[in-house]
């Protein structure tokens, strides 16, 4: 799903990271390639781990729409909000 379609979602949906713009694109690019560990599963963040949905307090696209962006653990499905990436990614 592209970023503009995700704006209309109410639950996290897998997103095409190449469709991101603005602040949302910058936030995702800062996480790709970093490590994250959850439920004893350590993995390198790849585009397929990025999910998003529309949210007025989310990271802005270039057109001003907001997306709540998460990284989803491939083992258990836990979503880590982008607001916590600075302290949980390594």
Its domain, for residue 32, covers 3-88
Structural domains in the chain (count): 1
pLDDT at 57: 93
pTM: 0.92
64-73 CB burial, b ≥16 within 10 A, e <16: ebbbbbbbbb
pLDDT at 3: 93
The residues facing 57 across adjacent strands are: none
Q: What are the structure tokens assigned to 2, written together?
A: 């592209």
Pick from 67, 60, 63, 57: nearest CA to 6:
67
Find the mean pLDDT for residues 61-81: 95
Summary mean pLDDT of the chain: 95
């Amino acid at each position: 799903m592209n970023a503009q379609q995700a704006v209309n979602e109410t639950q996290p949906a897998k997103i095409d990271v190449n469709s991101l713009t603005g602040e949302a694109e910058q936030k995702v690019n800062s996480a790709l390639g970093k490590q994250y560990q959850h439920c004893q599963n350590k993995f390198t963040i790849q585009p397929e781990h990025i999910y998003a949905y529309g949210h007025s307090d989310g990271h802005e696209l270039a057109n001003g729409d907001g997306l709540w962006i998460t990284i989803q653990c491939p083992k258990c499905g836990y979503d880590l909000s982008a607001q916590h990436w600075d302290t949980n990614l390594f």
